[in-house]
Structure 1
């Protein structure tokens, strides 16, 4: 029997564990028969309803917040695309025959993302193991040792939950400080002669992968403009600090270097003296408004996109080299040049805009090109908002996104 002949719906319904599928809005999309039997519900009482409506916590026992913890776990999985094995926890189930009567229940659960064809989290799979009888049996045997082990297991689980909560709060505080630092170092661009530009910085959802991305726009002599984006490996305050140093260094190098490749050469040498700067990616384009040319170079970064007035899109990918500090010995970086016509739009961005887990980067580039073509003619501010709407998953990106849109 091959995969096309397998009835996966029958397999899902026959699973011995209780399994539920949620939308990313935490609405039950489907549940199997074991779930309904274990929770004492019919399909109509669960499918199509929100988690909190179908299974609220007992308001008379505020210390039991299992459903709140499950909600938080599902939201985290939706935001990060990572599985979450929940610790042993208690949530009680209300009897349908006796309203406001709750049965004490203990569970071991795991939440797993289900990805769609576009690489985004499409559904959330939640598996439950009811271990109430195990705990009750251990207590009912009258064995002091079993009772002590049960109590210790539950206590350790509660302690672990408290530690996890403190860690999440600490990450949230660091995230807030790092974001404020990031905002201070990424101001709105100043006047660029007669050109219009829009910039965006969108932090990743949750406490991970924030504050490593940057952008910069620089007026140069001889009617030229430098546009740069970069992405530091790491997150939080450390990444924000490294980002600030590299952004300033590249801005200074762009003003004196003979083209973008030389500026990235200087930045690569400088990065070797900055802890945490290894493997940073960056792209730099220098627009000559008189000659109508764009010189560009990339250090391991996704290619800038050039939207022509006729709606076609070219990716500037002819001068790509490894990230900063990736080579043991210094080698001059490549540089390429392309022409543009007045009314074209140059877009630089970081990988949070296009990359998705388990998906080739070409799929993300194709989405970007399609969005640019559909919104051709929009002003930079409108286009920047449209790109974020089209390309960032509804649940939010799991990596930072920096974006620059410049009308040429």
Structure 2
């Protein structure tokens, strides 16, 4: 039997347990037979209707939280694209036979995403197991004991839900702190003399995917010179933000006194050896000399900068590539290369979130970047940065941080 012979609609209807498909707007798209049987509803009572119009909270129970908890879980799945297993829920259901009468019910829900070709959530799988019979007394000699067990389980489920809420709040606070730290540490364009510079930073999709990437711009002494760098710290969240801040500050100081970009990365690599969390961090730095119209560059395991020449020719600056900052136990002098440019050229530095995609060869990814730059080469740096992000980033956002610096030379 091959895939074309499988009737997946029939498989869905025959699934054991209660399963419903919801649209991102939380409207029932389909339900299986077990779902209809256990809820006592007809298909026309559910399909095409908003979830919480069909199953609202019990209006007679001011402490009811089932609807709020379920809505929060479904929104998490939509936001993260990841499955969410809920704690045991009390979620009363209005009787079909006795309108206005609410039946005390207990459920164990699991919500999972169905992703489309673009990686966005197109459907939600809402699987529910009713556990009322396991925790509710059915009368008889053991009824009192069952009531105690029911109360204990319900209390524990509420405590677990509250703990989950507190953890999510803590993660949200961590994200806020990390973003604030990032904003304070990353330089603004106005801090350098060169005006034709555009910078962009796009945090990754997800609650804590922040502050892994960074960029730096430093006016250099001795002529009209500018150092432009980008880097990537492994990991996300507040810890990555702290490491990012240390490395960026160290490279800023090193660039001001170094003879060239390789020497600056030498110093940064030695410093990375004593920074916890700097393992496998990458960076690339360029020293632009506007008087001589040259760019000296060196890379520590980072993707190559792109030089878009005034005539539309694309040059990847990949002739001075070395391992990541903390890769060698005994640091060695790093390579350095130099290239020239004419007035009107554009230098672009970026991090891997801009180009790398799962199951795509990196050469194809870099070709997409080159094509975008050539297509939009007549735009000013600000407009060019926006156009590149639009062309290369997925519509729903990337799964990794993205830093982008565009310098008109």
TM-score of Structure 1 vs Structure 2, range by shorter chain = 0.7 to 0.9
- Which whole-Å CA distance do the structure 2 matches of 1:132 and 1:56 have between them? 18
2:289 counterpart residue number: 288
Task: Check if 1:159 corresponds to 2:162.
Answer: no
The question of whether the paired residues in 1 share the 8 Å contact of 2:90 and 2:154 is answered with no
Aligned to 1:325: 326
* 2:107 alignment counterpart: 107
What's the CA shift for 1:262?
2.6
Of the structure 1 ranges 190-199 and 260-269, higher mean CA displacement relative to structure 2 is found in: 190-199
Question: Could you give the per-residue CA deviations for residues 37-83 of structure 1, whole angstroms, max 9, x where no partner exists?
Answer: 44455556555555445544344434222232223223323333432
Shift of residue 168, structure 1, vs aligned partner? 1.6
Residue in 1 aligned with 2:181? 181
1:301 aligns with 2:297: no
C-alpha displacement of 1:249: 0.8
2:190 is paired with a residue whose SS is coil
**1:262, 1:332 within 8 Å by CA — same for their partners in 2?**
yes
Q: Secondary structure at the match of 2:298?
A: strand
CA contact 2:369–2:388 (8 Å) conserved in 1: yes
Separation in 1, partners of 2:215, 2:189: 10
Indicate the RMSD between aligned Cα atoms, in angstroms: 3.4
User: Relative to structure 1, is the Cα distance of residues 209 and 106 closer, same or farther in structure 2, using a 3 angstrom cutoff?
Assistant: same
Please name the residue that 1:16 is paired with.
16
Deviations 1:178-233 (A, max 9, x none): 32222121242126555511222333445413233221112224433221122223
Secondary structure at the residue paired with 1:108?
A: strand
Does 208-217 or 41-50 show the bigger shift?
A: 41-50
Map 1:236-275 onto structure 2 (within 5 A): 236-275=237-276
Q: Equivalents in 2 of 1:406, 1:73: separation in Å? A: 43
Shift of 1:267: 0.7
For residues 68 and 359 of structure 1, the distance between their equivalents in structure 2, rounded to whole angstroms, comes to 40
User: What are the within-5 Å matches in structure 2 for residues 97-246 of structure 1?
Assistant: 101-136=101-136, 139-140=138-139, 142-143=141-142, 144-190=144-190, 192-193=192-193, 195-220=195-220, 221-246=222-247
Does the 8 Å CA contact 2:118/2:394 hold for their aligned counterparts?
A: no
Shift of 1:269: 0.6
Q: Decide whether aligned partners of structure 1 residues 167 and 185 sit closer, same or farther in structure 2, where only a CA change above 3 A counts.
A: same
Gaps of at least 5 residues in structure 2 are: none
Residues 56, 286 of structure 1: alpha-carbon distance in 2 compared, 3 angstrom cutoff: farther
Deviates more, 1:364-373 or 1:316-325: 364-373
**Separation in 1, partners of 2:359, 2:30:** 24
* 1:226-277 Cα distance to aligned partner (Å, 9 max, x none): 2112222344433322222211111122223233233222111101122222
Partner of 1:383: helix, strand, or coil?
A: helix
Q: Distance in 1 between matches of 2:342 and 2:49?
A: 54
Under a length normalisation based on structure 1, what TM-score does the superposition of the two structures give? 0.83
| Native 8 Å contact 2:258 2:264 kept in 1 | yes
- The size of the alignment, in residue pairs, is 407
Matches within 5 A, 1:323-362: 323-355=324-356
CA contact (8 A) 1:203 1:211 kept: yes
* Higher CA-based Rg: 2
* Partner Cα separation in structure 1 for residue 110 and residue 167 of structure 2: 20
The answer to whether the Cα contact below 8 Å between 1:110 and 1:126 also exists between their aligned partners in 2 is yes
In 2, Cα distance between equivalents of 1:359 and 1:102? 53
Segment drifting more, 333-342 vs 241-250: 333-342
Say whether the 8 Å CA contact 1:208–1:398 is kept in structure 2: no
Contact 1:79-1:395 within 8 A present in 2 as well: no
